[in-house]
Amino acid sequence: MLDIAFIRNNPDLVKEGIRKKRMRMDLDELLAVDEQVRGLRRDVEQIRADRNRLSKEIPKLKGAEKDEAVAQVKGLKDGLTSKEPQLREAEERFEQLMLLVPNPPAPEAPEGDSDDDNVEVRTFLEPRQFDFQPKDHLELAESLDILDIPRAVKISGARMYCLKNEGVMLEFALFRFTLDHLISKGFQPMIVPQLVRREAMIGTGFFPLGEEDTFFIEKDNLYLIGTSEVPLVAYHMDEILNEKELPKHYCGYSSCFRREAGSYGRDTKGFYRLHQFNKVEQISICVNDPEVSRQEHNLLLSNAEEIMQALKLPHRVALACSAEMGQGQVLKHEIETWMPSRGKYSETHSCSTLHEFQARRLMIRWRSKAGQTRFCHTLNNTAAASPRILIPILENFQNADGSVTVPEALRPYMRGIERIEPKQ
């Protein structure tokens, strides 16, 4: 959420941000409702003040003066009865509109309509050139007997899967390696709730715009998270942190659930777009200094890059264009990993700076040494998400005989397995 004072003072900048992010939001309506709320609030406060003043004077009055004052108080009370519902209605509309305003993207973010407009920043390793006909990850997983989709679909429906055998070991090896790397950097590991209240979803900016993509447990009024970012950031909601505590660095493991409501049949084959997956997410909560935020952004991004480099997976870092950025993001980088079966780099990680957007919604503040209280900045970045990351691991490390070599960085977690052999 943006500061309404910032919106009032910079309407053109905010409108340009709405346009760049290709979002639909009537800022003029918000500004009109804001003016209406302020006017009604002034009226209500004045009426209350007049009523209280007269109520105090009535015991001192007599006769006609007292009768007149009593009548005036009644009239003021009737005025409140009329004005207060108008104020409540206007305030409710104001809050609804405020939740729709996007954070303007940073000046360096390129304007664009899709990931085709992302700007490459750097690359690591060249895509592998095969001297045999490579298989896609689905063929490999089935022949290695590490995947069962038909039975998962029978149990749970489309876009579900069962990992098994060395596939399970490979995923947990990835997460153990990732957690060890982040813990060595001082990040606090967390296993977080996967069911959260609506306040956490609104506070982190996933509602109201992303509500259709979320699984809702109606009986308990709880939502399944699509990322551990939600509980990790909301962990400090309604708190005031001391400056010496910051930055807060968390890495959270969780299962994640997404309806993929807007995917319209895209990427239905294999591991790329599923209803359920597992992830380690990085979170930073820091002081609201843009320079500090940028340092934290670079830290989270470099952590993810170091993990990918250790896995020896060809990838590129790209600066996300405006339309690829979410509502709250000011700056976003993506790590796109080479997937041979897709013949292109595809997103496996995203690193986002949100400034005060989430902290304002969640009331996460910090107190400086001088005693001043301000809203924090928040950032997040994927450290590892599976099974999507298994696509490039399986495809880039496959061998001509159908086996898959385990990346060297993961072997200490694989009980001595260096190669996964075909079973059928």
Question: Is 388 known to be catalytic?
Answer: yes
User: Which one of 166, 171, 305, 347 is the catalytic residue?
Assistant: 347
**319 with 110: CB under 8 angstroms?**
yes
Question: Could you identify the residue written with the tokens 């998400």?
Answer: 385
Query: Helix axis angle, 11-20 relative to 27-57, nearest 10°?
Result: 140
Q: Give the angle 305-243-236 at the CA atoms, nearest 5°.
A: 70
Could you confirm whether 306 is annotated as catalytic? no
Exactly one of 143, 350, 352, 386 is catalytic; which is it? 350
From 22, 41, 273, 419, active-site residue: 273
State the SS3 of 238-302: CCEEEHHHCCEEEEEEEEEECCCCCCCCCCCCCCCCCCEEEEEEEEEEECCCHHHHHHHHHHHHH
Residues 152 and 161: their CA atoms lie apart, in Å, by: 5
CB 233 within 8 A of CB 285: yes
Is 38 in the active site? no
Of 51, 258, 361, 365, the active-site residue reads 258
Residue 179 phi, psi (nearest 5): -65, -45
Which of 341, 346, 388, 395 is flagged as catalytic? 388
Distance of CA 51 to the CA centre of its chain: 47
Which residues fall within 8 angstroms of residue 320, CB to CB, at 6 or more apart? Answer: 109, 115, 118, 329, 332, 333, 334, 350
Identity at 231, one-letter amino acid code: P
Burial of 376 (C-beta count, 10 Å sphere; 0-12/13-18/19+): buried
- β-pair partners for 217: 222
Token couple for 242: 């001391």
Active site residue 374: no
- Cα Rg of the chain (Å, integer): 27
| Contact call for residues 334 and 114 (beta carbons, < 8 A) | no
- Per the annotation, the verdict on 350 as an active-site residue is yes
Catalogue the active-site residues: 258, 273, 347, 350, 388
